[in-house]
Amino acid sequence: MMPKLRKKRLLEIIVVSFLFSYYSVPQSIEDLEGDSSQPFLSDSDSAIPISGESFLNFTGPISHSSIISATWSANVSVSESYGTELLENRSLGLLVQIDSSLGDSDGWIDNQEDEAFAELVRSARNWTDSELGGCCIFDYNSMSSPGGNHVVVHTPGIGPVNRTGGFWGWSESANLTGFSDGRIMRLIDLPRVGAMIEEVPLTVNLPVGWEFRFSPMSEIIEGDPGAFTVNRSDAPVAYDIRITIGENEPPGITTSRFPSSSTASLDLSSSFSASCTDSILDSPTIQWTISRDGQVLSTIQNPWFDLVPSDLGFSHGEILNVVATCTDYHGANSSRGEDLQVDGIPPEWFGNISISGADPIDIDPQQKVIEVQAGTDLVFQINASDESNLTVFLEMLTNISEGWRQLGSMQHTFQFTANQGSTVNGAHLGLSERHKERKPTEIYVELIVSDDSGNSVSQDWIVRVLDANSPTIIPRILIGEAEIEIDGDAHEGDELTLDLSHSFDDLDNISEVIWWVWVDDDELSSESGWSSTEKMTLPELSQGFHEIRIKATDSKGNSGEIEIQLMVNPNRAPQIDIIQANLSDDSDDGSMTKVSVVVQNAGSGLVHARLCITEICGRWSEQPFGATFESGPAEILIEMEFEASNTTLENIVLEWDSVSDEANGTIPIQLNSEEQSEKSHSSPFFAIFVLGIVIIAIMAQRLRSHND
């Protein structure tokens, strides 16, 4: 008897606490619904298999400042393997909780224990406040259930506590009453605090003529505008889910047509499209009607369609009526239509084509192929008209370049320059490719004349660009196989080659081009072919500027000529000469004397120089010296003091050493001295020399007299 008495006493305490305690019902509801993270979870589980559904049905009008009536119902099913916060030891699972907290811990759920748990759940879900019950808030206020919430509990049932696979749950229903405020739009807030009742979808059914308008959590809402389902368990945050509803309004509609004009071409397709705007849960249907004189010829249900009026029997001048209608979930609709005059006559045009210049040349517009010289400016003067008296559009297309296009209307002048295109020879090609024969460029020209409805006529021409360009001359100067700059890399003594291999003609094979070459007005080549002109050896050129003139003529007589100024520097190698060598007057044996030498380098190679006497040498010149193009040969003065003797005077030499390479040399020096000249004139040897000259002269005179 004790276990039964204890169970009965516990049940009485629980019931009394729910009936008389202000906080009992809310707290029990929160216990049943659990926390926001793991309601009805055992400590070892991470998910809850909960299924079911709930409904909020508004049964009457919900206009502003009025009483609102609704019904609430829910059906929830939960796995019995999970514990509940309504009882202790949640981690043991629901069956063990019932056996230990409401029973005798005998491992068996009997009928009394099962009924005690059912009563516990009924008490927990016996609410009258719609917010506390997990239902809803209407226009910022909870709705009330005067008759309470009718709850039917589906208990786990009698049996052992160690069984698996069973479920328990409950069903509930309530009639709700609330009040709307004075605004036009209504607000429904759905609690999201993690309660178990929130784990099942909630379907909201609105009165006829009302629809879903907006919710910040619209991604968890699906269904129709008047009957939609909120998946509260998918809400990313624990916060009320606000929904705005309002009375239904007809959908908005926009239409478009291509081409967008006031007429429709009889034989061309026109594209019609429409779009509707309404509640984000609504997908209004779009229907098109096509009529003539009030008679519907065709209906189409699609957001877009293409129409050729002649396919429906229309003729030129008739009126085509097209209407688009959007119909929403509630049957409300909006329409937009237009009347289009059918145009079956294309526009007309006439014009002149001419070659611009001082003396313009007219060309017959009916001529299909137009031949012009390269560089010619072509002018197309076009006039157009249409029976509708609406604007006529002009468009000219060519293949001169990608996307080349000019536009005009009614009267317009189109103009372009006819040049050889990218298919002719050019510097962008390799040498062998640029030397081939090419066909003249042909420019495709198309004129398109279109009226307002899209009817059009066109005319095309071929513009053949004739050869009017002279050969392109590209000279290069080579030393061996290496190209050099013409303004400073050539030197006296270099073997220079004029290379024309990079030259080309835009259309001719290079072998058909005739060449002339002059160097300083001396003709190097005259009317020569390519084989002898491609590479030519230039004559030896002295220091200075030299003019090289090249002329080329193609097979059509187009001639081109260029001139280049070739700068030739002094010889690359050092060219050392002694310009002057002097010995100081005091050069007696044993005395100190000074030798002064002026050295010239006529080559551009820089050198250092010094004086040497026997094996004794002076210092090298501080700065290297060499000839330049601007200043010519370079000269420096080198001096050296030494003790004079007959031996040393005969062994004075100049040594030089190149800066850029290993070239060097030695030059003996012949000295001049006024003192030496005077000594030579007063010496006995000089007197004997003079006497010998006199004797030879006398004997020669006598010999001539004897012969006479």
Spatial distance between the Cα atoms of 493 and 496, rounded to a whole number of angstroms: 9
- In degrees, rounded to 5, the angle at the alpha carbon of residue 307 between the alpha carbons of residues 256 and 348 is 90
Query: What integer pLDDT is reported at residue 635 of this predicted model?
Result: 95
Taking every pair of Cα atoms in the chain, the longest distance, rounded to a whole number of angstroms, is 193
Tokens of 447: 């004129």
End-to-end alpha-carbon separation of the chain, Å? 193
Q: Give, in order, the Cα–Cα distances in Å from 620 to each of 230, 578, 612.
A: 103, 16, 10
SS3 helix, strand, coil % of the chain, rounded to 5?
Answer: 15, 45, 40
Q: Give, in order, the Cα–Cα distances in Å from 167 to each of 80, 92, 94, 392.
A: 5, 16, 10, 79
Quote the distance between the C-alpha of residue 665 and its chain's center: 67
Spatial distance between the Cα atoms of 515 and 509, rounded to a whole number of angstroms: 14
Q: Give, in order, the Cα–Cα distances in Å from 499 to each of 482, 492, 505, 548.
A: 11, 19, 16, 12
| CB distance 193 to 152 below 8 Å | no
Tokens of 312: 């429906």
SS (H, E, C) 376-423: EEEEEEEEEECCCCCCCEEEEEECCCCCCEEEEECEEEEEEEECCCCC
Tokens of 656: 């030089």
Q: Count CA atoms within 13 Å of residue 685 on its CB side.
A: 3
Torsions phi, psi of 330, nearest 5? -90, -5
Q: Count CA atoms within 13 Å of residue 436 on its CB side.
A: 9
Spatial distance between the Cα atoms of 59 and 67, rounded to a whole number of angstroms: 11
Tokens of 345: 């006559």
Q: Count CA atoms within 13 Å of residue 690 on its CB side.
A: 8
Please, which residues have CB within 8 angstroms of residue 345's CB and are 6 or more apart in sequence?
A: 316, 386, 387, 455
Spatial distance between the Cα atoms of 42 and 31, rounded to a whole number of angstroms: 14
> Which mean pLDDT values do the consecutive 10-residue runs of the chain (708 residues) have?
37 33 36 40 50 95 94 94 85 91 93 94 93 96 95 94 91 97 95 92 96 96 97 92 96 94 93 95 97 96 96 95 97 96 95 87 93 94 93 96 94 95 93 96 96 94 95 96 92 94 96 97 94 95 95 96 95 92 72 89 93 89 92 92 72 91 89 49 43 56 52
Q: What order do you get walking across the sheet with 369-373 strand by strand?
A: 369-373, 456-466, 442-450, 393-398, 405-409
Query: What integer pLDDT is reported at residue 591 of this predicted model?
Result: 74
Query: What integer pLDDT is reported at residue 93 of this predicted model?
Result: 87
Query: What integer pLDDT is reported at residue 684 of this predicted model?
Result: 44
pTM: 0.59
| CB distance 257 to 320 below 8 Å | no
Question: How many C-beta neighbours within 10 Å does residue 92 have?
Answer: 17
| CB distance 458 to 535 below 8 Å | no
Verify cis geometry, omega within 30 degrees of 0, for the bond prior to 156. no
- In degrees, rounded to 5, the angle at the alpha carbon of residue 248 between the alpha carbons of residues 247 and 250 is 145
Of 149, 150, 105, nearest to 130 (Cα)? 149
Please, which residues have CB within 8 angstroms of residue 10's CB and are 6 or more apart in sequence?
A: 102, 116
